[in-house]
Structure 1
Amino acid sequence: MRYTLIRKLVCIAPVLMALAACGGGDSTPAPAPAPVPPGPPPVVTPAGTAQGTPVSASLGSAGGTLSSADGRLQLVVPEGALSAPTTISIQPVSNGAPGRVGSGYHLLPEGITFARPVQLSFAYDESDVAGSSAELLGVATQQADGTWRWQGGTLDAQARTVTASATHFSDWSLVKGLQLRPPSATVKTRASVSLKLAYCFAPALDNDLLEPLGFDCEAENAPAPSQAVNWSVNGIPGGNGSAGTVAGSKGGATYTAPAQVPPTNPVAVSAEIQGAGGKVLVVSNITVKGDETAGYAGSISGTVTETADGTRITYQSANLRFVPLEVPPTNYAARGSLTMTTYHPGGDVTTRLVNLEGDGSVLTVHDPVLEGPYASFSGRYWFSVMGLFNACPEKAVMDGTALPSYGADPSRLEGARQISCAGGSLAIDAQWSLKADDAGT
């Protein structure tokens, strides 16, 4: 019996079934986006509703300035624009503009006309140009029919402002004319993410006035550039094995993450487009993460007792780690060692060190999204002794009602279990504490 137990314990390792769930300082005009073929109709949105604190000031023929409460919009009324003292107000409103940046602003009084254009200067920061570029920012105004019209604007990259002229008051917003969506994303190693270029403002070619109207740039059929697009990762055309690769066309691309987390993370996936005002670069920042279950490290210990004669074996792991056997990781091979001490009925005690080098000692982490015989389990993590002893049938694992579950955190696999098998001739008591191995993430 002693030889049989030791032979079987050479490949000891409990099996855990897991049910897993940007520019310089010169002031340059911001170019209007280039024309694109007809696509979806211009987006129509309701007028914005009041949000935040309004500000007001009485201005006369001498003109003056007024800033919104959040400091994002400054209104400059030049001398001679007003013929009489007038109360001017800026009311922050909900923003329905396509490609919107920050709040919308309702300027009052409605219906007022100015003898000279007033200046609307919008401030922006780096987060406001995510997935786009400062050169593609502009100012848009909502028309009476609910559509939005591009007013363009002058970019001051050093001051980080975009300034446009207005002769009337309505709802106004800073907007992105063109976007790369998503502007940021997280993807696992070897996985892919789809990127799409979409115009938020582009001329409707079936409109005789050729006004740059606003489109739903989040829609699947949003208008896309018609000119050539050059795709890069961290400035490398097409990317490489270290940073990941990108392949695409005019309307979009697919980024595929490398096999390992890149040394520079996140990576910058960019599209260079030849616009009317020159080349424009839009960037999406992609964070690459290792698989959360790329490996486990920790300890396993327990006792195996032969109920007939009382032979007892204790086992304790050292330097235990489970490494993936395939991608995506589902099965893991045990590495490390086990110290096994056998207590014989006659009082003799023997100790043996077993190195776990082969793939016979395997941890299994199961994801219910994947097809498989264990997908019907209601829990997420399960512990069993499949593979621990040849005498313990695989059916013990298949019977979900007999197995406890251990929470929903894939980074921590901890628990204890007692089981009898081989017709009751073996009693097994196991404890384990495993955590996601940082070396694999």
Structure 2
Amino acid sequence: MKRMNFWMGLVLFLFTSACSKSDPTSPDLPGALVTTHGTPDGAAVTKTIGTAGGSVTSTDGNFSITIPTGALAGDQEISVQPVMNQLPAGYGRAYRLSPHNIQFLQPVTVRFRYDENSIRNTVPELLGIAYQDGEGKWFHAGEPTLDRGSHMLSVATTHFSDWGYFPYFYIDPSEALVDPGAQLDLRVMATVPGNPDFVPLPGESPVLQPYQPDKSYLGAWSYSGDGSLKGNGNKAHYQAPNSAPRANPEAVSVAVKMQRKGQFLLISNITIRTEFHIDYMQVDETEMYAGGLNYPSRLWIYGSFGEDPGKEKRSVKINNTDVTVAFWTPGMIACDIPTAGPYASGVVAVSTKAATATKTLNEWLVNMYYDKVESPGGALTKKVKLILRFRGDADGFFKTGQVPMVTETNLHASSKGIIDMATGSFTNHVTMDGCGDYTVKWDAIHNLEVARKKNTEAGGLSGRVVNRSGGFDLKIRFIADDVLMTHRKFVDCHSGGSNDDVPDAIEIQGFHETVIPLRFSLSGSNASIKAGEMPLKTGTGVASGLYFDAPDYVPGNFTTRLHWDEARPKYE
């Protein structure tokens, strides 16, 4: 049977005792946590703060920096940029504070607002704040101050970098949704050095890769439901009852002990399925036509459906039109659906004679723009507009225990690139090596359409799409060979010269295979894909045939930009 994890709550018992410094170098512990830096995940907020101090708050209101009077010697621009959270057990977004080389005359305060619903696998008293150095290593920022009333964590700092918050201890899974009779393994995870008296010291205490702590941290496991539980140390095995229990969900708990902070009870709520429902939907745009797999697109539906009642007793419809059911299991259904048309997306209804569940499979059309400036002033700029179609579910995500049948898929078949560029020309005089005038002229390109290709095919536009809880991760490739006719002229300072007509390729350089985060603004049928852009790249190269004297070359004149508009959902 498929297992699916939901959430549950936490009950807290607190007592205090003495504290002491921890030893993060135990040979039995994992190494320090090192990750890549997060990519932007929202609009930056920038303010000028002076000697009188001030504050900057992120656009989502969940992060702020407060600078007291006298912390700055003069006016300074301060920026807060949401980024993808690279902490494996972190919550919500991380935030980039810049400039990184700023010097404060006294500490400033960093604050996170935590969401009770998002930290259900731990308790607020076991939350820490971390920052990431330039090499990607994460450090505890110090002992955070907790304000339970306002759901705030805060810590003082004297430097800027990427910041996030995370649990010292947590139970995995925090909640589960399982079938009657199913089995589930639970475990306690930790990110702090192996010492119950742990006190985080800024710059000295690395965040550890999540590991299962030893028994010195843990008390007994507890369960009083209709199934069974065998718990020992950092792990437990749960057996669900064969029918819905009297109390549903059932609670499994374990005590976590920190000598200085106290004792806390982590609780995992396990719900036994009783309702026919859809959790999440995923579209495979791979278009399989080989090995007995013959479908234009495949819709995977995850949820609770019971045993297959037989072809005559069940159906899956999109916009009231039957689609072919490839197979039906209690936790997953696969259907063959068209790539376009009135039932390529819309309201999906899964029905048996006993029950019906519905959910919206939505569509978004994203306009993405690529601009590569290859001459000062931009007269020579390679331009590509990408029209990208996505189908998916903006409400819910895979539950723990549900196994995605598609880890990544192609771009939708109707996705395409359009090259539309005016003629351009630029001349540059060189006095050093190769003295002379270099002129490059580009012919215009009028609405040249470049079709989508599968990832197994060369050239054109191709992409890999991954479902995320808040949108899609996209990786793209684009190349159109010999579509740009360039005219390269050289006039020597003394005599002679050359003229060459050379076809050139247009491709999306600088962003091939880079994760492009497309994120929903909301959930459900009102979820648009938010407008965004990748970090601007500078010094990305001049047009072929142009040359500059070294003192005249200005990298900032040559930029590569990739950005996209907001995409409204088809069904609102």
Please give the per-residue CA displacement for 1:127-184, whole angstroms capped at 9, x wherever unaligned: 2212111111111001233111112311111111110111100000011121211122
In the alignment, the residues of structure 2 paired with residue 106 and residue 289 of structure 1 have an alpha-carbon distance, to the nearest angstrom, of: 41
Residue equivalent to 1:283: 267
Please give the per-residue CA displacement for 1:378-403, whole angstroms capped at 9, x wherever unaligned: xx9489xxxxxxxxxxxxxxxxxxxx
Pair 66,246 (structure 1): closer, same or farther in 2 beyond 3 Å: same
From 164, 183, 201, the counterpart of 2:174: 183
Task: Report if aligned partners of 2:186, 2:238 keep a CA contact under 8 Å in 1.
Answer: yes
Task: Report if aligned partners of 1:189, 1:288 keep a CA contact under 8 Å in 2.
Answer: yes
Pair 381,216 (structure 1): closer, same or farther in 2 beyond 3 Å: farther
**Is it true that 1:213 corresponds to 2:213 in the alignment?**
no
Deviates more, 1:110-119 or 1:39-48: 39-48
From 80, 99, 106, the counterpart of 1:109: 99
Task: Report if aligned partners of 2:104, 2:159 keep a CA contact under 8 Å in 1.
Answer: yes
The equivalences for 1:55-94 within 5 A come to 55-94=45-84
Pair 195,35 (structure 1): closer, same or farther in 2 beyond 3 Å: farther
In the alignment, the residues of structure 2 paired with residue 248 and residue 286 of structure 1 have an alpha-carbon distance, to the nearest angstrom, of: 15
Residue 34 of structure 1: CA displacement?
Answer: 7.3
In the alignment, the residues of structure 2 paired with residue 286 and residue 183 of structure 1 have an alpha-carbon distance, to the nearest angstrom, of: 9
Matched to 2:208, the amino acid is: F
Matched to 2:188, the amino acid is: L
Residue equivalent to 2:213: 224
Task: Report if aligned partners of 1:179, 1:200 keep a CA contact under 8 Å in 2.
Answer: no
In the alignment, the residues of structure 1 paired with residue 11 and residue 75 of structure 2 have an alpha-carbon distance, to the nearest angstrom, of: 40
DSSP-derived class of the 1:65 partner:
strand
Matched to 1:281, the amino acid is: L
Residue equivalent to 2:239: 256
Instruction: Specify the structure having the higher radius of gyration (Cα).
Output: 1
Residue equivalent to 2:37: 47
Residue equivalent to 1:327: none
DSSP-derived class of the 2:117 partner:
helix
In the alignment, the residues of structure 1 paired with residue 202 and residue 113 of structure 2 have an alpha-carbon distance, to the nearest angstrom, of: 30
Residue equivalent to 2:252: 269
Task: Report if aligned partners of 1:177, 1:202 keep a CA contact under 8 Å in 2.
Answer: no
Matched to 1:142, the amino acid is: Q
Matched to 1:212, the amino acid is: S
Matched to 1:270, the amino acid is: S
Please give the per-residue CA displacement for 1:101-127, whole angstroms capped at 9, x wherever unaligned: 111111011111211111111001112
Task: Report if aligned partners of 1:155, 1:163 keep a CA contact under 8 Å in 2.
Answer: yes
Please give the per-residue CA displacement for 1:251-283, whole angstroms capped at 9, x wherever unaligned: 111122223312332223221111131102222
In the alignment, the residues of structure 2 paired with residue 106 and residue 72 of structure 1 have an alpha-carbon distance, to the nearest angstrom, of: 13
DSSP-derived class of the 2:216 partner:
coil
**Is it true that 1:245 corresponds to 2:219 in the alignment?**
no
Matched to 1:181, the amino acid is: D
DSSP-derived class of the 2:159 partner:
coil
From 145, 150, 155, the counterpart of 2:146: 155
**Is it true that 1:124 corresponds to 2:108 in the alignment?**
no
Task: Report if aligned partners of 1:33, 1:275 keep a CA contact under 8 Å in 2.
Answer: no
Matched to 2:207, the amino acid is: G
Matched to 2:32, the amino acid is: P
In the alignment, the residues of structure 1 paired with residue 229 and residue 167 of structure 2 have an alpha-carbon distance, to the nearest angstrom, of: 24
DSSP-derived class of the 2:166 partner:
strand
Task: Report if aligned partners of 1:139, 1:173 keep a CA contact under 8 Å in 2.
Answer: yes
In the alignment, the residues of structure 1 paired with residue 63 and residue 203 of structure 2 have an alpha-carbon distance, to the nearest angstrom, of: 28
In the alignment, the residues of structure 2 paired with residue 183 and residue 130 of structure 1 have an alpha-carbon distance, to the nearest angstrom, of: 6
Residue 230 of structure 1: CA displacement?
Answer: 3.4
In the alignment, the residues of structure 2 paired with residue 129 and residue 183 of structure 1 have an alpha-carbon distance, to the nearest angstrom, of: 9
Task: Report if aligned partners of 2:129, 2:140 keep a CA contact under 8 Å in 1.
Answer: yes
Pair 291,69 (structure 1): closer, same or farther in 2 beyond 3 Å: closer
The equivalences for 1:325-364 within 5 A come to none
Matched to 1:154, the amino acid is: T
In the alignment, the residues of structure 1 paired with residue 254 and residue 149 of structure 2 have an alpha-carbon distance, to the nearest angstrom, of: 23
In the alignment, the residues of structure 2 paired with residue 52 and residue 228 of structure 1 have an alpha-carbon distance, to the nearest angstrom, of: 38
DSSP-derived class of the 1:213 partner:
coil
DSSP-derived class of the 2:125 partner:
helix
Residue equivalent to 1:194: 185
Residue 185 of structure 1: CA displacement?
Answer: 1.4
In the alignment, the residues of structure 2 paired with residue 270 and residue 149 of structure 1 have an alpha-carbon distance, to the nearest angstrom, of: 29
Pair 49,436 (structure 1): closer, same or farther in 2 beyond 3 Å: closer
Residue equivalent to 2:551: none
Matched to 1:213, the amino acid is: P
TM-score (normalizing by structure 1):
0.55
From 112, 121, 124, the counterpart of 1:134: 124
Q: How many pairs align?
A: 275
In the alignment, the residues of structure 2 paired with residue 255 and residue 284 of structure 1 have an alpha-carbon distance, to the nearest angstrom, of: 11
Residue 80 of structure 1: CA displacement?
Answer: 1.1
Please give the per-residue CA displacement for 1:193-233, whole angstroms capped at 9, x wherever unaligned: 1011111233699xx9994322332xxxx24243253345x
In the alignment, the residues of structure 1 paired with residue 79 and residue 20 of structure 2 have an alpha-carbon distance, to the nearest angstrom, of: 29
Please give the per-residue CA displacement for 1:21-67, whole angstroms capped at 9, x wherever unaligned: x689x9x99x9997785232222111122220110111111111111
In the alignment, the residues of structure 1 paired with residue 224 and residue 216 of structure 2 have an alpha-carbon distance, to the nearest angstrom, of: 25
Pair 406,52 (structure 1): closer, same or farther in 2 beyond 3 Å: closer
**Is it true that 1:143 corresponds to 2:133 in the alignment?**
yes
Pair 68,211 (structure 1): closer, same or farther in 2 beyond 3 Å: same
Structure 1: tracts of 5 or more residues without a match: 1-21, 293-329, 331-364, 367-379, 384-404, 412-432
DSSP-derived class of the 1:246 partner:
strand
Matched to 1:265, the amino acid is: N
Pair 270,57 (structure 1): closer, same or farther in 2 beyond 3 Å: same
Pair 147,199 (structure 1): closer, same or farther in 2 beyond 3 Å: same
